[in-house]
Amino acid sequence: MTGFELRVSTQNSTFDDSGAGTLPVTVTNVGTEDASGETSVIVISPFYANFARNSEPAGFLRYIVENPAPNIPEMLECRIPAADLKAGSSVSLEVALALVEQGPRSPGNCMAIATPLFGNRPDLVSVGETAQIRKTDVSLPAPPAGANLVNAYTTFAKPVLKAGATRPLRLAVGNLGPKAPLSDAVVTLVTPHLSKVDRSNALFALLKPTYLHQLTDRPDVPDMVTLPVSRLLLPPDPNAVLDALGVKVLSVPLVGHGPLTSERLGKVMLAVGAKDFDPDKSIAAASVPAMQPA
């Protein structure tokens, strides 16, 4: 490797019955030149998990998204000074997480992104990696007496992104039943690394998106957005017939930012409302990979 080049790595982690655990994140300068400025590290929690307060990792700067709701991932930023990323050196961060009660057996991926905040050469790029978080307790939560049982799910068509161009991410949402929901649901989307929502898109605005941060000038920071979903779109549909008809498809306009890589993940989740109970949330959330054309 020549010049300054970053690598970021994480490890899959299993949390004990207390719901507490630590995610290791390692940032390495695999190049031949020392860093000449700060490096930003963005970490995004899984669904149904929050960062442990007062245990933030070294170099903690701020929370970009701080929200205890189980269907909203949290996002924090750390900074690594230039002196700690000389050629060949690594910095390890320990990110403490606490899982929310009655969450899924596998809350999904935790995202880590490292970006140099210096220089303007094309080889100074943002890099990302994901890790899976799992629980040792694999039992499903028992539904309360008289609960309205539903089974929400999300599927998608993998978006093909191109730097500087807008491409659709098509999300399908549904409910395998056995009951129809009594309250509206909400979709939460974290965009794939190096892609942003086109906030000027008039058709998308009709879906009434709520943006959870306003860092529109940072391509390395994924957008996080929620979309309301009417309960009328989620009748019991065990064979996903309505998906085949395209009735429940939400189209999200994504703008690619380069240089693009082939392995970039976002994530999405459909959370049911307070009047409904979804005991198995394993199909309500999914990682969303983005690809680039050859």
The domains of the chain are located at 6-135, 152-290
Q: Which CATH number fits domain 152-290: 1.25.40, 2.60.40, 3.30.70, 2.40.50?
A: 2.60.40
CATH architecture of the domain with residue range 6-135: Sandwich (2.60)
- Coil, helix or strand for 196? strand
Listed in sequence order, the DSSP H helices in 148-240 are: 202-205
pLDDT of residue 246: 54
pLDDT of residue 248: 76
pLDDT of residue 202: 97
Q: Which residues of the chain have pLDDT under 70?
A: 1-2, 102, 105-107, 120-125, 133, 135-138, 240-247, 259-263, 291-294
pLDDT of residue 123: 47
pLDDT of residue 99: 85
Distances (CA, A) of 51 to 60, 190, 288: 12, 17, 22
Residues forming a β-bridge with 93: 25
Strands (DSSP E) found in the chain: 6-10, 13-15, 20-29, 39-44, 49-51, 60-65, 75-80, 90-99, 108-116, 127-135, 152-157, 166-175, 185-190, 195-197, 210-211, 224-229, 249-256, 264-271, 285-290
pLDDT of residue 126: 72
pTM: predicted TM-score of the whole model, two decimal places:
0.92
Record the tokens describing residue 170, joined without a space. 């098509």
pLDDT of residue 232: 92
pLDDT of residue 81: 96
